[in-house]
Amino acid sequence: MLRSVKVRDYMTTHLIVFNPETDLFAAIDVLLGNNISGAPVVNAKGKLVGILSEIDCLKNIVNGSYYDYEALGGTVEEFMVKDVETITPDIDILTIGDRFMNEGRRRFPVVEDGKLLGQISRKDVLRAVRDFVGTGQINRSA
């Protein structure tokens, strides 16, 4: 039987994360310093509570510069997206590849019982396909 490749096998588990109380400009420094476009936000128990992206940061800066320069900044919690679509670690890697193509997303947080386990990106899917192409080991139906 052909082997099915799961998100768990290729997700990134060493993530940069923020907590809700992180200062927005400290978070921007982390994003820039690590050349990443966003990061999960977790509470003290490791539960995913949001995602902070470059766009979320830009909204604060652009709106603040137009309306009230003094109001720039705040905490990550004030600007993060709280309604985050997540996936479980046992989803087939090609199913996630389809979702990346159809939904135009860059990454999905991987969560089990509310706890952040990792993240899967388009690059992770490409890496999985590269590793298994020609070996006949990717099986969508398993």
Predicted local confidence at residue 59, as pLDDT: 84
Do residues 140 and 26 make contact, with C-beta atoms less than 8 angstroms apart? no
Domain 7-132, what architecture? Roll (3.10)
Residues linked to residue 116 through DSSP beta bridges, in sequence order: 111
- Over the chain (142 residues), the average pLDDT of each successive run of 10 is 75 96 96 94 95 90 63 86 94 93 91 94 91 62 49
- Side-chain-side CA neighbours of residue 47 (13 Å): 7
What does the domain layout of the chain look like in residue ranges? Answer: 7-132
Which one, of 130, 103, 99, 102, lies nearest residue 10 by Cα?
Answer: 130
Task: Say what the pTM is.
Answer: 0.81
